Copies of this chain bind each other. A is one copy, B any other.
Amino acid sequence: MINTLFLPELREMLAEGNAEELSEFCTALHPARTAEFMEGLERSEAWRVIQHAEQGLRAEIFSYFGHDRQLEMLEQEDETQVAQLLNAIPADDAVDLLSGIGEERVKRLLSLVPTADRRDIMRLQSFEEGTAGSIMTTEAACIDEKLTVREALDQLSRQAEKLETIYYIYVLDETKHLRGVLSTRMLVSAIGKPDTTVGELMDTDIVTVHPDDDQQQVAQIVAKYDLLAIPVVDEQRHMLGIITHDDVIDVVLEEATEDVQRIAAVDPLEDSYIRTAILTLAWKRGMWLGILFVGALLTAFALRYYEGDFEAYGWLVLFIPLVIGSGGNSGAQSSTLIIAAMATGDVKVTDWFKIVTRELATGWLLGLFLAALSFVPAVLLAPDQWAALVVPATILLVVLCGTFSGSALPLVFSRLGWDPALMSNPFVAGINDILGIVIYVAIARLILG
Contacts and interface: CB of A to CB of B under 8 A. Distances in A.
Contacts of A156: 188
A101 interface: no
A83 interface: no
A324 B320 CA distance: 11
Contacts of A257: 340, 343-344
A167 B429 CA distance: 50
The secondary-structure label for the interface of chain A is helix
A336 B261 contact: yes
A447 interface: no
A314 interface: yes
Interface stretch (A106-114, A132-140, A280-288): A280-288
Interface string A399-417: 0000000000000000000
A319 interface: yes
A366 B333 contact: no
B205 A289 contact: no
8 contacts: A30-B207, A158-B192, A260-B336, A281-B358, A285-B362, A296-B321, A317-B317, A321-B321
Interface of A: 28-30, 32-33, 153-154, 156-158, 160-161, 163, 165-167, 184-186, 188-192, 203, 205-207, 222-226, 228, 245-246, 248-250, 252-253, 256-257, 259-261, 263-266, 272-274, 278-279, 281-282, 285-286, 289-290, 292-293, 295-297, 299-301, 303-304, 307, 310-311, 314, 317-322, 324-326, 329-330, 332-333, 336-341, 343-344, 346-347, 351, 354-355, 358, 361-362, 365-366, 369-370, 373-374, 377, 381, 429, 433, 437
